[in-house]
Amino acid sequence: MKRRHFLQRSAFAASATIIGPIAFAGTPLSRSRYLSARVVSSPDIPMPAGKREPSGWKTAAVGAIPLVLAWPDFPADAKPTALRITVGMDIRDEKLIEAYLLQSGRVLGTFDIRFGCLFQVYEIPLAPTDAADVQREGIALRLTKGAELRVFTEGVALPAALQPHLLLPGTADAMTEYFTRMDSLACIQSFSWQEGCVLDGLLDLSAMPAHANLKNTARQHLERFIINGKLNYEDTSSVAREGTAYGIEGTLPFAALAKLEPQSPLLEIALACWRERHDAEDAIIDGRQTSSEGAYTVGYPLAVIAKIRKDDALEKLALTQLRVRQARLFDGETFWRTSEPKDGDFQKGNRNWARGIAWQMLGFARTLRELKHRDDLDDLIASFKQISEWILSYQRPDGLWSVFVDKPELTPDTAGSAGIAVALAIGEREGWLEPKAKIAATKTLVGVQSYLTPDGFLGGVTQANKVGEDLQRGDYRVIYQMGMGLMAQLIAALDPSKSS
């Protein structure tokens, strides 16, 4: 994806980013539009056994037999800038999907989809001269590498932004479009750490008067997973789940559920998951591996539930998640996302990975803020200060952090950068960190904003770490809604009207 470079922004522009879009009198703005495709034909390939389409939304396969799309209602003057499709089932390989004009066979471009996640949007650019040909011929998609792809096609409440579509950018600025995407199901993710990032972002933004409606949007998101009072969802592998959490990374959304429905009996699902996963030091982990994700996906929702229930034992358990992970994963000079005992030693992984650091810091900042009424936090605040000082030394001139923070030659990760900056902004607001932390976080927000697409999706995000570090270290980046959730958290954390 091409990035629009904004190397320098004024302080005024940064402030406008935090507060929201600014409207100028006499300049009516148009929003981006999506020309949804009609599926003419598709391969007759069923969903694999055990997999399920989310929310009852329909998907179609793209294979050696092409998926054929048409636009019977194509406006005469339309000049779309991109063709988009959205992943309808989790991907565990690399795929190439060729888009070509149905009659002439002219190739418009190729979707490069590597280990894609459910709901990720992929695009190929279109030239203005392509419009007439697309209108006349339609587009076919065929697989040239990898196993069959499934893409969303239709369904009740399926946003046009997630259907196969042609993008018609409007004249509204990218931040205006961003808030529009956030106030919809276009930013939905699988019920996991990914949707948890989005839900936390929606609820954080809803505390700002201009975005109070986003609390209802968060409820609408949860309604896609809670049906007739039961939790029913697809996990990060597109496997159908009911009434259970698939692991510690699947419990983050329960923080938002607890804030919206403090008496929900479904909170017991998270508590049951955590009870089954204690190790000897009361770290809540999957198997034998300690991961930094758990600081955020366990520590934070556990703190929220504990505070609501006034349960001192649960509060202490939430704090234990931070203490144990800090001891196992950070030595003051190097951060490891994972640690696992092996042959009398510890096998560690993802050294200085930005997103792994973000999970640790988010877990600290949000958990400590939730439990700041306690008088036994001094050691944890000191640990948070230590990792914050360490990470500040690696911030790039563009306000972001490289995907591996000590490798400035590598491409940055907008999501990891946003997550780190959220923690810094919260820490400064709560008085745990110096003002330079807020300055750094503000710089990050400006940097992240430059990766927004014209219709407000966030690009520049490192792909999920389903496969080794090579994919992370390269320049391959994606549009990823969980990063939009982290960006929302950052906007809210920097809101000048809020005080601790």
pLDDT tens track of the chain, all 500 residues? 333 333 233 333 444 445 454 444 556 789 999 999 999 999 999 999 999 999 999 999 999 999 999 999 999 899 999 999 999 999 999 999 999 999 999 999 999 999 999 999 999 999 999 999 999 999 999 999 999 999 999 999 999 999 999 999 999 999 999 999 999 999 999 999 999 999 999 999 999 999 999 999 999 999 999 999 999 999 999 999 999 999 999 999 999 999 999 999 999 999 999 999 999 999 999 999 999 999 999 999 999 999 999 999 999 999 999 999 999 999 999 999 999 999 889 999 999 999 999 999 999 999 999 999 999 999 999 999 999 999 999 999 999 999 999 999 999 999 999 999 999 999 999 999 999 999 999 999 999 999 999 999 999 999 999 998 999 999 999 999 999 999 999 999 999 877 54
C-alpha of 461 from chain center: 9
Inside any domain, residue 331 = yes
User: What tokens does 273 get?
Assistant: 């998951």
Last-in-domain residue among 168, 193, 209: 168
CATH of the domain at 69: 2.60.120
Which H or E element spans position 89? none
Does 342 share its domain with 436?
yes
Does 46 share its domain with 159?
yes
Does 235 share its domain with 343?
yes
pTM for this model (two decimals) = 0.95
CA 182-411-205 angle, to 5 degrees, is: 20
Inside any domain, residue 402 = yes
Does 164 share its domain with 178?
no
List beta partners, residue 154: 58
Does 246 share its domain with 113?
no
Last-in-domain residue among 150, 168, 186: 168
Inside any domain, residue 343 = yes
Inside any domain, residue 337 = yes
Does 213 share its domain with 124?
no
Does 287 share its domain with 164?
no
Last-in-domain residue among 100, 135, 168: 168
Which residue spans within 238-277 are E strands per DSSP?
A: 240-242
Does 213 share its domain with 346?
yes
Torsions phi, psi for 111 (to 5 deg) = -80, 125
> At 145, is the secondary structure helix, strand, or coil?
strand
Note whether 347 and 340 are within 8 A (CB). yes
Inside any domain, residue 477 = yes
- Which ranges of 393-480 does DSSP label H, i.e. alpha helix? 414-429, 435-449, 470-473
Does 315 share its domain with 373?
yes
Q: Number of folded domains in the chain?
A: 2
Residue 397 neighbours by CB distance under 10 Å? 9
Domain range spanning residue 69?
34-168
Inside any domain, residue 436 = yes
d(CA 12, CA 65): 53
Does 114 share its domain with 257?
no
